[in-house]
Copies of this chain bind each other. A is one copy, B any other.
Amino acid sequence: MPKLWNETIETHRRAVRDATLDITAALVTERGLRSVTMSQIAEKTGIGRATLYKYFSDVEAILIAWHERQVTGHLKQLAAIRDQAGDAVERLEAVLMAYALISHEHHGTELAASLHRGEHVARAQQHLSDFIRDLVSEGAEKGDLRDDVAPAELASYCLHALTAASSLPSKAAIRRLVTVTLAGLRPTR
């Protein structure tokens, strides 16, 4: 087959897949995980049930794929913030704030808890942890952050401290949490 034709098929497949993920996530949010069936998803997506089963084995598999796409999107967003202009501390603060807001918006539900046990989440957490470690290390080298504790330990401290964001009531409270967390990283006198 010519290359163009292959690309068209690939584009079509990705579009069907993306639509399936979006529709499933919307249905599960609306009705709860246990009330959503493959038939409903096929109907809403406008494809046959048999076709849907060629893509995914069950509703849970669709949700995991959807969550992987979400997590990858969040990581890209955080990496883009990291790559903005500014010194290491400014960029670290921006990344921590964005991460805290993501935790706040997306977590605390039972569905989130069950999806977060997946391996793709562990990988993403490691990736995030590594890049926060690198920002901390850069700030410590410049003398703007403490250098008496290993950057990897400080990154772990940050990510755990920011899990408090999921139960905070407002964006202002999340900003205070980020300020306090960052204060723990300042050099000791």
Contacts and interface: CB of A to CB of B under 8 A. Distances in A.
A157 B181 contact: yes
Given A156-B168, A160-B162, A183-B185, 10 more contacts: A153-B176, A153-B177, A153-B180, A157-B161, A160-B164, A182-B184, A183-B184, A183-B186, A183-B188, A184-B184
Interface of A: 146, 148-149, 153-154, 156-157, 159-164, 167-168, 173, 176-177, 179-186, 188
A146 B148 CA distance: 22
Contact of A185 (B153, B167, B168, B180): B180
A132 to B, nearest CB: 13
Majority secondary structure of chain A interface residues (helix, strand, loop or mixed)? helix
A96 to B, nearest CB: 12
Nearest to A159: B164
B157 A160 contact: no
24 contacts: A149-B176, A149-B179, A149-B180, A153-B168, A153-B173, A153-B177, A157-B161, A157-B177, A157-B180, A157-B181, A160-B160, A160-B161, A160-B164, A161-B161, A161-B164, A161-B184, A180-B184, A180-B185, A181-B184, A182-B184, A183-B183, A183-B184, A183-B188, A184-B184
A188 B186 CA distance: 11
Contacts of A185: 180, 183
